Amino acid sequence: MVKQKQAKTVVVTSGKGGVGKTTSTAALGAALARDGHSVAVVDFDIGLRNLDLMMGAERRVIYDLINVIQGSANLSQALIRDKRLDNLYLLPASQTRDKNALTEKGVAQVMNELRKKFDWVICDSPAGIERGAVLAMKHADIAIIIANPEISSVRDSDRIIGLLDAKTERAKNGREVDKHLLITRFDTTRAGTGEMLEIDDVSDILSVPLLGVVPESKEVLSASNLGVPVTLCDANSAPARAYIDAARRLCGEDIPIVLPEEKRGFFAQWFGGKAA
């Protein structure tokens, strides 16, 4: 008998809003799907719902996560297949309900069902440390902590690490969530002048393995406005390459973290370890 492949559940999280969680969820999900993995991206930001915009699926939403939890729709009805990649699906959030509509039992049932259907389940967490964020991370095997290189973002990310070590199912069972740090909106010139933290500073403060560094780039905003994950919009752009490499590290590839430094005309490199 062939052993069924174990799905991996990932939460993309941070304590601070506006750091790039939704952008990163879409970009990483698309990168994994492009490499042949079956992927579901799940929007846990109940009441706001932006992941559908990033995926270009806002006009195709009929049912959502809350409908599935409450039994007014089944999972197959709510999942939206991406028009560009047949193995990439979106489970949108509700815009008309609040986070109290999320129940522990309902979330557990949905996550268990998703695990049976996909190789990767990537949950886009709302900002903060409230109920929605805790439920988004509760069933995670892997956490990708998004941080901008500024002290307030790093401080809030440190609080999220504490939650991951206390509130997840893995933590309750005496195991750790596999944590990775993804630094977004990094500008080497500004870091060099002291306007933002250096990569090593952020890594040292949080003590979490570095998954990747996404440079500040207008291509991210352009892709978002088009409703296309940046890894599909322009795979050769600097942020797309950073996300594609981060996805490869997430799959276990041991490759260096390379940050293009266009303004100065050379490459700065940090060599990361193998991601589990």
Q: Nearest to residue 140, comparing CAs of 167, 168, 105?
A: 168
Per-residue confidence (pLDDT) for residue 5, from 0 to 100: 60
Quick one: which H or E segment has residue 11?
Answer: strand 8-13
The number of beta carbons lying within 10 Å of the beta carbon of residue 39 is 26
Residue range 167-183, pLDDT digits in tens? 999 999 999 999 999 99
* Cα–Cα distance, 261 to 186 (Å, whole number): 11
| Residue 13 · residue 137 · CB < 8 Å | yes
pLDDT of 241 over the 80 cut: yes
- Output b/e per residue, 42-61; b: 16+ Cβ within 10 A: bbbbbeebbbbbbbbbbeeb
pTM as predicted: 0.91
Q: Which of 120, 153, 155 has its CA nearest to residue 11?
A: 120
The sign of the torsion formed by the CA atoms of 117, 121, 126, 128 equals positive
- All structural domains of the chain: 8-269 (3.40.50.300)
Q: Report, as an integer, the average pLDDT of 147-162.
A: 94
List pLDDT tens digits, range 77-119: 999 999 999 999 999 999 877 777 889 999 999 999 999 999 9
Mean pLDDT of the chain: 90
- Whether the per-residue pLDDT at 272 is higher than 70: the answer is no
